[in-house]
């Protein structure tokens, strides 16, 4: 008598299709409620229906065949239990527990680990058993001889099922280990290509915000770029205490992604405030870690990216008026034709970009407008190396601007107009246009005496405008054909302004009076020459009768500090600003935001810079030292071999 097994081969196929439908409905098309409901419903119906069929086949069979069917039925039940646990990780499921946000996050993590473990422990054995059996057990057999044959088949099925369960549990252990490692994450990145850390300036901006800042990260999971970014924001949040971090899947949280116009992975949205007062800024990253760590990737300059975005969040845009029409380096076209051979063109693209990053709108301030007055909406007025002298009316307008508490930055150049006009007596400064030269601490360029005009200094005072500069790793500032500032008597009435010299040259520097690049002891003097000065006016009465800060002014003897410079390192070229972080802190101090002053961390390649003495040392070590060492080791080795040979020959003689 023949008897057919109860479960057809296509039952497991439909079971797998049901799981796929649920996955698509929940994870891929979850942002479409109608489609999600249809796909999830069809998938669940298929899974429950096939499980019912499997239960029926288990009851309908006997002997070893029933044992096989029962094993498969347990796997089906395991899948159903996993789906129930998954349901409790959804918003609907977590809502039934009435927990706090922190408690809900912890419970969601625990349930997610559990349902994935149960799913793996059920699916993998089910797949291995079905693959092993194929269609063989689905044909009829003789009852009289069934016992032995089925016994052999069941033992094979049992062993394969246990093997599949072992694989599933090993994968589950790996997943739990990864979760523990993520929760107890300690990173030690010793490679050069690393994500920048949160700098002092960025931490200060977050801490100063009256409203908490929320970070929404839209990344696929898992993703290495996401982990790098998450570590950065976690460190920033722990330092400031004013930041919360959320990770989102743009497909699952489609409504939130739509609100902030997130259309691709790798988007970070920083949000400040709520309701009508909410402001948001976006940072876009590539999700490929290899691309993000290249020279053009954003991870190495991520702190600067975040710093820029935060400045736009915490305050409104301000206006910086840059003077034009006097042959400034920001307006080379206005240099008189007869002077263009003497004054070289310098670009200020990085200077303008950094002002924009600091949330300043840049506007030109020409002769016609300045002769009337400085615009009332000016936060800062900047003048970089005028070649043509300013008119008396223009100096008077700047004087009135400072009397009202204005903020002014001036950078002069030996080849330009050296005058400070009527501001000399107000600021207590005058400009010496003789070229600053240093034959000991300088940056070699072409191997000629002219390199001595590339003087290097590490002399910075403890002032808010030089905070990051004095804390930087190399602490070196290159002065290119600089002049020097000198004291002048104050002519202001009443309380005198406070004057601080923020940057000075090295003691080996001198002003080259005869332009021969050589120190002449009879006519020249080595000393610390003043390169930068900060002047702060006395307190004054505001319109409301309360005291407010007086004017602030920064004067520099080298306009090249704010010009573009092309550097090349490791085969890569980049345009940078010569003074590094000096501009950022100067603008912040002028704008009354010195609380934001400090380092903005970057992991860009730093060009290797040596002074003349350092270059001489490296030259000697490279040309003479290394060959001498190799020669010495070779002679020692040869002497040792000959000595051993001599001993052996002596021992051989009778």
Separation CA 524–CA 435 (nearest Å): 12
Separation CA 89–CA 96 (nearest Å): 10
Helix (H) or strand (E) holding 548: strand 547-548
| Shared-domain flag, residues 358 and 494 | yes
pLDDT digits (tens, 9 = 90+) for 193-240: 556 688 888 888 888 888 889 999 999 888 888 988 898 898 888 876
Query: Would you say residue 471 lies in a domain?
Result: yes
| Shared-domain flag, residues 43 and 132 | yes
| Shared-domain flag, residues 258 and 126 | no
User: Of 455-469, 484-498, 631-645, which gets the smallest average pLDDT?
Assistant: 631-645
Separation CA 2–CA 588 (nearest Å): 91
Q: Show Cβ contacts of residue 485 under 8 Å, excluding neighbours closer than 6 positions.
A: 429, 430, 431, 432, 501, 529, 530, 531, 532, 533, 555, 557
CATH of the domain at 207: 3.40.30.10
pLDDT digits (tens, 9 = 90+) for 617-649: 555 565 566 667 766 777 787 777 767 766 655
User: Of 130-134, 235-239, 253-257, which gets the smallest average pLDDT?
Assistant: 130-134
User: Of 25-29, 72-76, 160-164, 532-536, which gets the smallest average pLDDT?
Assistant: 160-164
Banded pLDDT at 258 (limits 50, 70, 90): very high
Q: What is the mean pLDDT of residues 446-454?
A: 90
539 closest CA partner among 591, 499, 501, 495 = 495
Are 590 and 355 in contact by the 8 Å Cβ rule? The answer is no
Query: Would you say residue 189 lies in a domain?
Result: no
User: Of 77-86, 474-483, 488-497, 615-624, which gets the smallest average pLDDT?
Assistant: 615-624
Which residue has better confidence, 6 or 287? 287
Query: Would you say residue 609 lies in a domain?
Result: no
Boundary-marking domain end, from 119, 149, 183: 183
Please, what is the average pLDDT of the chain?
Answer: 82
Which residue has better confidence, 146 or 74? 74
Residue 196 — φ and ψ, nearest 5°?
-65, 145
Helix (H) or strand (E) holding 409: strand 407-411
76-90, 332-346, 427-441, 629-643, range with greatest mean pLDDT: 427-441
CATH of the domain at 320: 3.40.50
Boundary-marking domain end, from 133, 154, 183: 183
Q: What is the DSSP letter of 449?
A: G
Which residue has better confidence, 219 or 5? 219
Q: What is the mean pLDDT of residues 358-378?
A: 91
pLDDT digits (tens, 9 = 90+) for 594-622: 888 777 776 654 444 444 454 555 555 65
pLDDT digits (tens, 9 = 90+) for 545-586: 788 889 999 999 999 999 988 776 555 667 888 888 899 999
| Distance, C-alpha 467 to centroid of its chain | 21
| Shared-domain flag, residues 329 and 290 | no
User: Of 175-189, 279-293, 382-396, which gets the smallest average pLDDT?
Assistant: 175-189
| Distance, C-alpha 552 to centroid of its chain | 32
Query: Would you say residue 325 lies in a domain?
Result: yes
Are 484 and 530 in contact by the 8 Å Cβ rule? The answer is yes
| Shared-domain flag, residues 491 and 379 | yes
Residue 250 pLDDT exceeds 70: yes
| Shared-domain flag, residues 362 and 489 | yes
Q: What is the mean pLDDT of residues 260-276?
A: 90
Q: What is the mean pLDDT of residues 432-438?
A: 94
CB burial of residue 38 (10 Å; 0-12, 13-18, 19+):
middle
Q: Show Cβ contacts of residue 341 under 8 Å, excluding neighbours closer than 6 positions.
A: none
| Shared-domain flag, residues 50 and 141 | yes
Residue 379 pLDDT exceeds 90: yes
Residue 553 — φ and ψ, nearest 5°?
-140, 140
- How large a percentage of the chain has pLDDT more than 90? 33
Separation CA 37–CA 26 (nearest Å): 9
Are 247 and 262 in contact by the 8 Å Cβ rule? The answer is no
Banded pLDDT at 180 (limits 50, 70, 90): low
Burial track 337-367 (b if 16+ CB lie within 10 A, e otherwise): eeeeeebeebebebbbebbebbbbeeeebeb
Model pLDDT, residue 190? 47
Q: What is the DSSP letter of 385?
A: -
Query: How long, in residues, is the chain?
Result: 654
Helix (H) or strand (E) holding 118: helix 101-133
Query: Would you say residue 649 lies in a domain?
Result: no
Separation CA 120–CA 118 (nearest Å): 5
Q: What angle do CA 423, 428, 433 make, to 5 degrees?
A: 80
Please say whether the dihedral angle defined by the alpha carbons of residues 243, 246, 247 and 250, taken in this order, is positive or negative: negative
The dihedral region occupied by 513, where left means phi > 0, alpha psi between -120 and 50, and beta the remainder, is alpha
Model pLDDT, residue 114? 84
Banded pLDDT at 475 (limits 50, 70, 90): low
Query: Would you say residue 193 lies in a domain?
Result: no
User: Of 38-47, 96-105, 513-522, which gets the smallest average pLDDT?
Assistant: 96-105
Q: What is the mean pLDDT of residues 586-591?
A: 93
| Shared-domain flag, residues 333 and 416 | yes
Residue 142 pLDDT exceeds 50: no
Are 505 and 438 in contact by the 8 Å Cβ rule? The answer is yes
588 closest CA partner among 577, 575, 599, 574 = 599
Model pLDDT, residue 6? 47
Are 577 and 351 in contact by the 8 Å Cβ rule? The answer is yes
Are 374 and 398 in contact by the 8 Å Cβ rule? The answer is yes
586: domain range? 316-599
Residue 509 pLDDT exceeds 50: yes
Burial track 135-169 (b if 16+ CB lie within 10 A, e otherwise): eebeeeeeeeebeeebeebbeebeebbeebbebbe
Q: What is the CA radius of gyration of the chain?
A: 37
Residue 311 pLDDT exceeds 60: yes
Separation CA 434–CA 457 (nearest Å): 18
Model pLDDT, residue 368? 87
- Joined together, the tokens standing for residue 397 give 């307008």
| Shared-domain flag, residues 76 and 155 | yes
Query: Would you say residue 190 lies in a domain?
Result: no
β 380-384/407-411 pair status? parallel
Separation CA 568–CA 444 (nearest Å): 15
Hey, which residues does 248 pair with through a beta bridge?
218
Instruction: Classify 486 as helix, strand or coil.
Output: strand
Banded pLDDT at 295 (limits 50, 70, 90): low
Model pLDDT, residue 3? 35
Boundary-marking domain end, from 120, 148, 183: 183
Number of domains in the chain: 4
Instruction: Classify 477 as helix, strand or coil.
Output: strand
| Shared-domain flag, residues 468 and 519 | yes
Inter-helix orientation angle 10-23/33-60, to 10°: 150
β 498-504/540-541 pair status? unpaired
Query: Would you say residue 162 lies in a domain?
Result: yes
| Shared-domain flag, residues 221 and 267 | yes
User: Of 31-35, 161-165, 243-247, 537-541, which gets the smallest average pLDDT?
Assistant: 161-165
Banded pLDDT at 378 (limits 50, 70, 90): very high
Helix (H) or strand (E) holding 501: strand 498-504
| Shared-domain flag, residues 525 and 567 | yes
Q: What angle do CA 177, 183, 186 make, to 5 degrees?
A: 95
Model pLDDT, residue 15? 86
Model pLDDT, residue 605? 46
Separation CA 469–CA 597 (nearest Å): 10
């Amino acid at each position: 008598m023949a008897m057919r097994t109860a479960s057809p081969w296509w039952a497991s196929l439909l079971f797998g299709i049901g799981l796929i439908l649920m996955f698509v409905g929940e994870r891929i098309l979850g942002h479409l409620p109608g489609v999600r409901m249809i796909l999830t419903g069809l998938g669940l119906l298929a899974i429950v229906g096939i499980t019912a069929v499997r239960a029926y086949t288990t009851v309908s069979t006997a002997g070893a065949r029933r044992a096989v069917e029962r094993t498969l039925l347990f796997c089906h039940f395991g899948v159903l239990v996993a789906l129930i646990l998954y349901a409790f990780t959804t918003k609907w499921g977590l809502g039934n527990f009435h927990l706090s946000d922190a408690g809900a996050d912890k419970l969601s993590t625990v349930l997610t680990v559990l349902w994935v473990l149960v799913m793996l422990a059920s699916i993998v054995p089910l797949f291995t058993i079905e693959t092993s059996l194929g269609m063989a057990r689905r044909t009829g057999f003789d009852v009289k001889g069934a016992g032995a044959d089925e016994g052999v088949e069941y033992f094979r099925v049992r062993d394969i099922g246990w093997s599949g369960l072992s694989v599933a549990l090993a994968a589950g252990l790996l997943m739990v280990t990864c979760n523990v490692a993520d929760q107890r994450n300690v990173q030690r990145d010793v490679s050069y290509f690393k994500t920048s850390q949160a700098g002092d300036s960025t931490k200060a901006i977050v801490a100063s915000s009256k409203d908490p800042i929320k970070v929404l990260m839209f990344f696929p999971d898992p993703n290495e770029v996401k982990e790098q970014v998450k570590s950065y924001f976690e460190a920033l949040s722990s330092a400031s205490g004013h930041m919360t971090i959320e990770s989102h899947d743009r497909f699952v949280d489609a409504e939130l992604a739509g609100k902030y116009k997130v259309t691709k992975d790798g988007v970070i949205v920083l949000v400040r405030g709520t309701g009508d007062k909410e402001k948001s800024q976006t940072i876009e990253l590539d999700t490929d870690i290899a691309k993000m760590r290249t020279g053009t990737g954003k991870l190495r300059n991520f702190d600067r990216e975040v710093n820029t975005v935060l400045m736009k969040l915490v305050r409104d845009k301000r206006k910086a008026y840059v003077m034009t029409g006097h042959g400034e380096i920001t307006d080379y076209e206005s240099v008189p034709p007869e002077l263009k051979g003497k004054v070289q063109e310098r670009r200020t693209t990085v200077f303008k970009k950094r002002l924009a990053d600091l949330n300043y709108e840049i506007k030109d301030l020409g002769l016609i407008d300045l002769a009337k007055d400085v615009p009332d909406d000016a936060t800062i007025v900047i003048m970089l190396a005028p070649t043509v002298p300013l008119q008396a009316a223009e100096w008077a307008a700047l004087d009135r601007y400072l009397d009202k508490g204005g903020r002014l930055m001036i950078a002069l150049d030996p080849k330009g107009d050296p005058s400070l006009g009527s501001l000399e007596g107000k600021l207590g400064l005058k400009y010496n246009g003789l070229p600053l030269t240093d034959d000991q601490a300088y940056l070699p360029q072409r191997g000629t005496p002219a390199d001595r005009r590339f003087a290097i200094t590490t002399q910075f005072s403890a002032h808010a405008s030089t905070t990051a500069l004095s804390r930087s790793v190399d602490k070196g500032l290159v002065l290119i054909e600089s002049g020097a500032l000198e004291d002048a008597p104050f002519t202001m009435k009443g309380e005198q302004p406070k004057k601080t010299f923020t940057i000075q040259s090295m003691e080996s520097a001198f002003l080259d009076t005869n332009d021969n690049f050589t120190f002449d002891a009879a006519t020249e003097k080595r000393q610390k020459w003043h390169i930068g000065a900060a002047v702060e006016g006395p307190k004054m009465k505001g319109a409301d009768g309360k005291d407010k800060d007086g004017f602030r002014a920064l004067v520099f003897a080298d306009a090249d500090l704010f010009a573009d410079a092309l550097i090349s390192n490791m085969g890569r070229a980049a345009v940078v600003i010569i003074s590094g972080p000096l501009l950022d802190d100067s603008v912040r101090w002028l704008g009354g935001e010195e609380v934001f002053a400090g380092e903005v961390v970057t992991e860009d390649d730093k060009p290797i810079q040596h002074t003349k003495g350092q270059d001489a040392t490296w030259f000697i070590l490279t040309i003479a030292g290394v060959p001498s060492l190799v020669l010495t080791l070779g002679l020692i080795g040869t002497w040792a071999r000959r000595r051993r040979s001599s001993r052996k020959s002596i021992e051989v003689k009778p």
